[in-house]
Structure 1
């Protein structure tokens, strides 16, 4: 069991009862948030994100515990353009109690092709024990977990509690958190906290919770390959003149070895102790087709959590329908690199640049643009905050939590640690392996949601009693 004392049975019973009784209204409020299509990407109606921020601010105000609730924007990095609206609510600590920041984001991914959904993406729909809809899990459930946990604390401890609270609900996490750094600087004093809970991750299963302790970083960029001043007839000159598609394919093929492992010198990974996870589970969770083998070497979770990965996520080239018998003069691709914990993103970028410079075939011209960096993150698991979180999880789930890594990236966490180096970071979440965040039929397991709310309510109540 976890290394801190158990929660008093009477307090635990009161918290459990309050969370359970409040779930119908909490789910109804979540459904209302899901109906607002708050996609923060360029090309989508920005007013939907404004309406979503208004709704979140109203929920925070209705809790009646904050000294201040505001909707604020900050300039995007390197520009004067304002980012999407975030909600910031604060309550000062009293009598020597700690302050806890609760982070989530109210913006969502684009829905994609509606034909991939079994119900409309912005019409929350319950089927079985799951609530379906874009943002139902990522991350409007995180928003409502915070709201419901605070509401539970008020019902059990009263509104005059001593714990300091900061509620920070971002509005552009799904579009790169472009104003995040400036927002932290503008509101540094208001955001200061002893513990920061980032409710934007996964649980191990629907029955076993997880505390995320490692996150890969990211390097993304657009790579353009050019070989000709203009398109030429493939029949007239093919076989003597390298087209950009050939050069691009040859270059991209050097990024991996025959096993599918990353083959870029200077991109580093590590082997760690990981929980049991076999190929059958990988196939179940990813939809890997029969006959298609996994890639890489080492344990599967090491490949996902602790080693680099490179994926080509988009190609600008003539479509099959529009193809003609010509040698393409240029091709552009979008490349996503996941950086293993422990390696700075700048160092990874330098390794990639060096690899491209030495592996470009036929003397083709290559340019890298639209570069975006995010550092990886490792949690210091020795702090009292981690022990308190594990205790809360164990009591809410009746199961010991797993310390897990995440193959994806949450780059702003490294920014939080830079601005608030003394704060303890706890990466929690409301998702499970079947949530399919970012994909069609995204969903929230309602049993997991209840346990996530109870976990946070227990944590708040315990910190409210902690000197």
Structure 2
């Protein structure tokens, strides 16, 4: 009954081929949440793979319907060992993005695990089947090493709609707040900062998509006969965009800018590496908010991105003034930003700059969350990872991207600690998605050590 025994069991699970076999079965199940006819496959994955896995942990488990009509099912499980013990809620998601089989390179396919050296290819291998397989296995090996005990209370929540915006997740947490109450969320999704640097992230930037549309007239008109007489919607839209974000990426709308970066966040970001991997693009040092480091621009600040622009026929341009122009945009934002007021802030700003003809259409807002890096549970988790790995993990106050962490941080009021088991070049959401085998083996050790430490007596 030692920590090293639990870690050794986790390594044996990987080295024996059992982890690969589990992942191979799970990747073979096409759990695409975007398919409206796919609820049966999503439920089948929970029933065939995850129910048995959590029941082996001694948990009472069931599948529950989504409180939102049309949403996919959830798996809920609980193992209670006693009053006075810490309670952890573990989260994962069973769904994947579309397979996109025709764009995988020859020899690879989304629903078959293909091993090429250290890379294990397959849809969901990195996002999220490989990651929740690691965590469930680590729990099992800790219980084995402890003679059937974990040393803490465990709750598990697995959803089947993360890749389509987690419909019903927050509503489920609200309805079952007492049932899901815990001291801490531990979950795994997304990438580490680098393949060779274990990482903790504590929340995510939020996101809101919006569309700017200039619709001035039906059809297009000859540019020679009407040029100089008709307002060009593409020109108007380009000028309007230039008032929102400047030519170096700095946000110009006061209502879309964040508050100052808190000191604890700055300290956490001080040694955080960004980019530099073999497959990473080169960072533009003069892009974004001036005076910030790359890590601060990515993790601690807001960005406004133009995702697409259209007017006329981009592939076959003709000598005509288009009647309409459209820009699809996105604001990624940190805690403290008034995201609910983004639409009004855009409207007021465009009106003040002479663009009342630019319509603003705001989509769904996903909230930003951030656990304070100085929170005791964060320090505990970092110390546990360091004890196993032998070095200090990277600590990100929040991801640059967006995950449904608000359901746990806001609805359940939990300290949220995420330990990702993938890396930036894993092709998550893209063709040729893969898991790095050495990283997975290391992650099994880290999670076995973490769950062992959670079950140790504390003052």
Same fold (TM over 0.5): yes
| Aligned mates of 2:287, 2:36 — CA distance in 1 | 35
Deviations 1:428-447 (A, max 9, x none): 11112332322332221222
Scaled by the length of structure 1, what TM-score is found?
A: 0.86
Q: 1:343 aligns with which of 337, 341, 347?
A: 337
Q: 1:170: how far off?
A: 1.4
| Aligned mates of 1:18, 1:430 — CA distance in 2 | 19
Q: 1:375: how far off?
A: 2.2
Which residue is equivalent to 2:258?
A: 268
| Aligned mates of 2:45, 2:449 — CA distance in 1 | 28
| Structure-2 change in CA distance of 1:374 and 1:259 (3 Å) | same
| Structure-2 change in CA distance of 1:355 and 1:60 (3 Å) | farther
Q: 1:156: how far off?
A: 0.8
Secondary structure of 1:191's match?
A: coil
Which residue is equivalent to 1:390?
A: 382
Secondary structure of 1:190's match?
A: coil
| Aligned mates of 2:325, 2:38 — CA distance in 1 | 30
Which residue is equivalent to 1:453?
A: 444
Q: 1:106: how far off?
A: 1.4
Secondary structure of 1:286's match?
A: coil
| Structure-2 change in CA distance of 1:132 and 1:230 (3 Å) | same
Q: 1:316: how far off?
A: 5.6
Are residue 34 (structure 1) and residue 24 (structure 2) matched? no
| Structure-2 change in CA distance of 1:178 and 1:333 (3 Å) | farther
Secondary structure of 2:188's match?
A: strand
| Structure-2 change in CA distance of 1:114 and 1:440 (3 Å) | same
- Checking the alignment, whether the CA contact within 8 Å between 1:206 and 1:447 is kept in structure 2 is no
Alignment map for 1:81-100 (pairs within 5 Å): 81-100=69-88
Q: 1:231: how far off?
A: 3.6
Which residue is equivalent to 1:5?
A: none
| Structure-2 change in CA distance of 1:293 and 1:388 (3 Å) | closer
Secondary structure of 2:211's match?
A: strand
Which residue is equivalent to 1:6?
A: none
Paired residues, number? 447
| Structure-2 change in CA distance of 1:116 and 1:224 (3 Å) | farther
| Structure-2 change in CA distance of 1:283 and 1:446 (3 Å) | closer
- Structure 2: runs of 5 or more not aligned: none
Alignment map for 1:205-354 (pairs within 5 Å): 205-213=194-202, 215-266=204-255, 267-268=257-258, 270=260, 272-273=266-267, 274-276=269-271, 281-282=275-276, 284-288=278-282, 295-296=287-288, 297=290, 298-315=292-309, 317-321=311-315, 323-354=317-348
| Aligned mates of 1:130, 1:275 — CA distance in 2 | 31
Which residue is equivalent to 1:429?
A: 420
| Aligned mates of 1:353, 1:27 — CA distance in 2 | 52
| Structure-2 change in CA distance of 1:402 and 1:37 (3 Å) | same
Are residue 18 (structure 1) and residue 15 (structure 2) matched? no
| Aligned mates of 1:89, 1:348 — CA distance in 2 | 38
Which residue is equivalent to 1:356?
A: 350
Which residue is equivalent to 2:51?
A: 58
Which range is displaced more, 53-62 or 393-402? 53-62
| Structure-2 change in CA distance of 1:161 and 1:301 (3 Å) | closer
| Structure-2 change in CA distance of 1:399 and 1:19 (3 Å) | same
| Structure-2 change in CA distance of 1:85 and 1:228 (3 Å) | same
| Structure-2 change in CA distance of 1:245 and 1:445 (3 Å) | same
| Aligned mates of 1:193, 1:417 — CA distance in 2 | 11
Which range is displaced more, 170-179 or 91-100? 91-100
Q: 1:407: how far off?
A: 4.6
Which residue is equivalent to 1:3?
A: none
Which range is displaced more, 351-360 or 173-182? 351-360
| Structure-2 change in CA distance of 1:401 and 1:95 (3 Å) | same
- Checking the alignment, whether the CA contact within 8 Å between 1:206 and 1:448 is kept in structure 2 is yes
| Aligned mates of 1:348, 1:407 — CA distance in 2 | 21
- Aligned-residue Cα RMSD (Å) equals 2.8
Scaled by the length of structure 2, what TM-score is found?
A: 0.87
Q: 1:368: how far off?
A: 0.8
| Aligned mates of 1:430, 1:443 — CA distance in 2 | 11
| Structure-2 change in CA distance of 1:411 and 1:359 (3 Å) | farther
| Aligned mates of 2:79, 2:455 — CA distance in 1 | 13
Secondary structure of 1:225's match?
A: strand
| Structure-2 change in CA distance of 1:276 and 1:163 (3 Å) | closer
Deviations 1:39-87 (A, max 9, x none): 22256744443333333433435515112x12223233xxxx2311221
| Structure-2 change in CA distance of 1:323 and 1:442 (3 Å) | same
Which residue is equivalent to 1:413?
A: 405
| Aligned mates of 2:36, 2:238 — CA distance in 1 | 30
| Aligned mates of 1:346, 1:450 — CA distance in 2 | 42
- Checking the alignment, whether the CA contact within 8 Å between 1:73 and 1:183 is kept in structure 2 is no
Deviations 1:435-465 (A, max 9, x none): 2322332221222212222222222222223
| Aligned mates of 1:401, 1:64 — CA distance in 2 | 28
Q: 1:166: how far off?
A: 0.9
